Amino acid sequence: MPIARKSIDIPAEVAHRFVADMQAYHAEQDIIARDRIAVGTRHMLLDHMPAGTKLRLSEVKALFDQMRSIS
């Protein structure tokens, strides 16, 4: 039986910031600076997710990589 997931509603300004962070992440050459961008994005996304939601830094980085071709 598949797991039913509740969709999240992210405000437009947060979505725009996510895209800006993703572009900055891919433009940055320094690994530590890339991690800082991903950490900030993780916190921003967690603010708009249901309480108790877990979001790993590696998941944010994977999301950035997956969405790179879209931007």
In a domain, 35, yes or no: yes
The arithmetic mean of pLDDT across residues 11-34, rounded, is: 95
Digit-coded pLDDT (tens) for 31-56: 999 999 999 999 999 998 888 889 99
Q: What is the pTM of this model?
A: 0.82
| Polymer length in residues for the chain | 71
Going by pLDDT thresholds of 50, 70 and 90, the confidence category of residue 70 is: confident
Average confidence (pLDDT) over 2-27: 86
Contact 24, 37 (CB under 8 A): yes
Q: How many structural domains compose the chain? A: 1
Q: Would residue 3 count as lying in a domain?
A: no
Cα–Cα dist 48/43, whole Å: 9
14 within a domain of the structure (yes/no) = no
Residue 2, domain member (yes or no): no
Q: Residue 19 domain-assigned? A: no
Domain encompassing residue 40? 26-67
Quick check: is 18 in a domain? no
Q: What is the mean pLDDT of the chain?
A: 89
- 68 C-beta neighbours (distance < 10 Å), count: 12
What is the pLDDT confidence band of residue 68, given thresholds at 50, 70 and 90?
confident
